[in-house]
Structures are given as structure tokens and as C-alpha cells.
Amino acid sequence: MANSKPHAIVIPYPYQGHITPMINLCLNLASKNLIITFIPLEFNHHSISKAHNLHADEDIFTGARNAGLDIRYAPVSDGFPVDFDRDGNDVDRNYTDYWKTMFLDFPGRVDGLVAGIVASSGDSPPSIMITDTFFSWVATPICEKYGLLNVSLWTQPATVFAINYHFDLLRQNAHFPPQHGKGEEGIINYIPGVGSMRPRDLMSYVQYPDMIPMLTEIEVKSFDHVKQADFILYNTVEELESDTLSALNQILPSFPIGPINFYDASLARSLRPHTDCTEWLSSKPPSSVLYISFGSINFIADKEEVAEFAYGLLMSKVYFIWVIKDDNIHDQEKKFLPSDFKDGMGNRGLVVPWCDQGGVLASPATGGFLTHCGWNSVLESMWHGVPMICYPFLVDQPTNRKLVVDDWKIGVNLCDGGRVTREEVAEKIDVVMKGNSALRMKCEVEKVRKKLQDSLGGEGSSHKNLDLFCEGLKLRL
């Protein structure tokens, strides 16, 4: 190599839950002396810049660059207007058509950009490409063409990676496509390294492939390609999923390096502006506030369901912060929340369009998290020792719920299928936040919190795995 510093081109998947860990990975690797060229999608670049009031000559890494890290920044267009609603309510138009076009078009766009980076990088040409696993279909042809090491970052639990990797076993055992009736009863106990689970613990695109067929298509395409990767990085912790990770390590060089959610909280990562809840939270007693968020994508089903949440919250009498995502919270409130909710909640609650979730979970006032079980939310909740009430909707969330409730015992199910009722909402809030059950759960989540925090310490598994990965990279260059 002409230059002793390895140079990695990095492409995050364009959703909040994927962007945050990828940005943090870049900061980590740059501080270990790698050159990084970060390639966000242009619309993500615009959202982050707007949310954080960045100047035209600034990007998310300006501060890191000023501190001496070599992180370059080269947004790429996906060919759609910046303000096109890529995950709007019309799934066929907004989501499916978008990804169909991406499959056809995006690898060529990235290829053009990479050619330019190769031509202009002088004595430090890129030798590595790190993509989100859901972009491994972009990585494979480009890594082959330019002779780059192919590194894949998986931002969900290793358990979900293993199931996706062994999709052929789901097919052979009639769990995919699901044979409803028969499929519901059959236990899944044949995925190497993964303990027994029920069909309802599988990812939504396995259980209901017809709901949003594009989800299954993206997963299958990504896992066809990820088999070509040279290294897999996982945003999980060895101690939490050790059997699964050792089984995966037999097949692909696997490095659990999580949680990679907590690198210098002051840096810009959020696609939306935060509402500051600090002052409100600091006025509340310890463990008295329930935090409610269903993640970065629109999952709330309908007005009736929201009403059950709203009345359940009022019945429970706890303090709460509820994230209802919309650029115009007032319209959203009019559309979704019952008209008497605002009076009922008085000063007991905050309804906000987006907040600094890490900051809210870190507050001693926060005592529970009603979550959709997105993996980042689960990691952040565990990191701060906050027990969960689980209400999964889509993708990996049903499987994450199984880990949280059945395996690690740090959360409860909000309901067992069907529609949620206000009584269940109030009852589960009590279980997680009041009395002996709350103490027991706090004790369990404390054990997991320690595992996570230890993993990043000097002798911790994730800390060591990141070093091993960097050594492995150097040996292959």
C-alpha cells in the first residue's frame, strides 16, 4: 500500500436506526487511524443539516475533522427529489417503487462516485468498503470491481442475522412462506446457534410476507450478497448472544462490537430536530416517567389504537413523554389524539414530535420505556437500565421482543396479539413501574446494563473485537 493508513468508503442505509450506529462506527475507526469517506444519501444529508442548523460548509463530521480525524464526506443522490416521501403512507408508491428503482439504479450511482474517489485519492486510495448489510447488493459488485475488502455492518441482533442467513431452512421447514395454521404451531429449533422460538417470534417479513412484499425482497437480496462479505460487524454484545455469534463465526468472520450507539452524544446524527425535555424531566422524581416511542418510521396503526394508549396513560397516572412523530405536531394531535386527552393529562405528560432519546433514557426520572422494540431502542434502554413494555409491529421487532421478554426478562409484553386495550396499557405500566414487579425487573435490567457497559471497557469483549477486526483488516490489505 502506498500510504500506511487504510482508507474505507462507508455507506449507511438511509434510516435513523442504521445511520446512528454507522456514524459512530466511522468515528471509532477514524480514531483508530483509518481514513473514512462517508457517503450518505443526499436526502439524509439535507435532513441532518436542517435538524442541526449546519452551515453550508459544514457536515456532521466537521467537528471530528477539526479534532484531527480524517473523515471525508461525499453525499450521493438516489435520483429522487430530496423532499420525496420515501416511507410515506402509500406503501406501494412511496416505499416499493422507491426500492425497485434503487435496485436498478443505485449501484451504478455509487460506482460512479467510487471511481471518482479512487481517481482522486492520490497515495491513499480506498481499499475497504463498509456498507450496511441491507446494502450488501451495492457492495458486492463494487468491491469486486475495485478490489476492496467487503465489510458489512449489521444493525440488528445476531439472532435476526442468523435467521436471515438460514432462510433456506425456513423454506425447507415450511415456515416460509408461512402455512398459517400448521406454521403457527411448529417450533423453529433448527437455526444453528439460535434457541427455540415460535413462528410469532419470527420477523414480520417471514410471518406476513404479503403485508409489504418489498421488505422480504430487500432481505433476501441482501442476504444473498452478504455471503460474499469478508467481515461482518454486529451492533450487539457477545455476552448477550454468544451461541448465535459463535455459530455465525463458523461461517463468516464475525465481530460483535456493540453497542455502537453512544459515541460523543454532542455530535449531529439525528434526521429530525429534538424537542428538549431536560428541564421537564429534571423536575420529576426518580423512575416516575414512562417514555413512549415507536421509532423513526410511521407505525401507529389508527386513531382507535392511539386512543387506547392515550386513555391507558391517563388511567395509569404516571408522568410520561410520548413521541408522536410529525413535522407539525398540532396537526398530528388533531388527527390522532382524543380531544379530551390534553385536559386529562394536564402537566403530567409531554407529547413531542422527536426528542433526544438517549438523553431521556439516561435521566434518573425515566422508569420505563413503552417501545416498538427497534433494536437501537432496545440497546439504548438496556444501556441506561430502563425496563421495557414491548409492542412490536414490523421487521425485526417481534424477534427483538422475544429476546427482551422471554430470554433476558427485562420487559413485558403489552398484549398477546390482537388489539391493545386501555386497561392493558395501564396494567403493564404498573407492572414495569410500580411495586415488587418493578423492583424485580429493574434488578434484571441492571445485570444486562452491566454486561453492555463492561463490553466497551478496556477488557470488554466489544472493545477487543473492534481491535481484532482492525488487525484482521490490516492482515488482509
Under rule CB under 6 A, residue 355 binds ligand UDP: yes
Q: Is 157 in the site for ligand UDP (CB under 6 A)?
A: no
Residue 354 beta carbon to ligand UDP: minimum distance, rounded to whole angstroms? 4
Q: Which of 140, 204, 357, 363 binds ligand UDP (CB under 6 A)?
A: 357
Contact code string over 20-59 relative to ligand UDP, x by CB under 6 A? x---------------------------------------
Contacting ligand UDP (CB under 6 A), which of 204, 377, 399, 462?
377
- Residue number, 368 or 374, with CB nearest to ligand UDP: 374
Is 432 within 8 Å of 440 (Cβ atoms)? no
Residue number, 221 or 274, with CB nearest to ligand UDP = 274
Choices 288-296, 405-413, 432-440, 448-456; region in contact with ligand UDP by CB under 6 A: 288-296
Closest CA to 310 of 392, 422, 418, 391: 422
Cβ 42 to ligand UDP, closest distance in Å?
20
Based on CB atoms, which residue is closest to ligand UDP, 61 or 354?
354
Nearer to ligand UDP, 80 or 299 (CB): 299
Q: Binding ligand UDP by CB under 6 A: which of 164, 270, 363, 462?
A: 270
440-445-450 Cα angle (round to 5)? 130
Q: Please give the size of the binding site for ligand UDP, defined by CB under 6 A.
A: 19
Task: Note whether 295 binds ligand UDP by CB under 6 A.
Answer: yes
Site for ligand UDP in 381-410 (CB under 6 A): none
- Residue number with CB closer to ligand UDP (222 or 296): 296
Among 44, 222, 244, 293, binds ligand UDP (CB under 6 A): 293
* Residue closer to ligand UDP (CB basis): 247 or 294: 294
Among 380, 391, 413, 473, indicate the residue that binds ligand UDP (CB under 6 A). 380
Answer yes or no whether residue 204 interacts with ligand UDP by CB under 6 A.
no
- Could you say which of 6, 8, 16, 34 contacts ligand UDP (CB under 6 A)? 16
> Which one among 354, 369, 383, 408 touches ligand UDP, defined by CB under 6 A?
354
Nearer to ligand UDP, 44 or 293 (CB): 293
**Per-residue contact track with ligand UDP, 311 to 330, x per CB under 6 A?**
------------x-------
Minimal distance, residue 108 CB to ligand UDP, in Å: 27
The stretch near ligand UDP (CB under 6 A) out of 26-34, 49-57, 374-382, 436-444 is 374-382
Least distance from ligand UDP to the Cβ atom of residue 471, Å: 29
Cβ proximity of 6 and 16 under 8 Å: no
297 binds ligand UDP (CB under 6 A): yes
- In this complex, which beta carbon is closest to ligand UDP, that of residue 85 or of residue 471? 85
- In the structure grid, which three cell numbers stand for residue 385, read together? 437500565
- Listed in sequence order, the residues at least 6 apart from 372 whose beta carbon sits closer than 8 Å to its beta carbon are 293, 294, 295, 299, 391, 392, 393, 394, 397
Instruction: Return residues touching ligand UDP (CB under 6 A).
Output: 15-17, 20, 270, 293, 295-297, 323, 354-355, 357-358, 374-377, 380
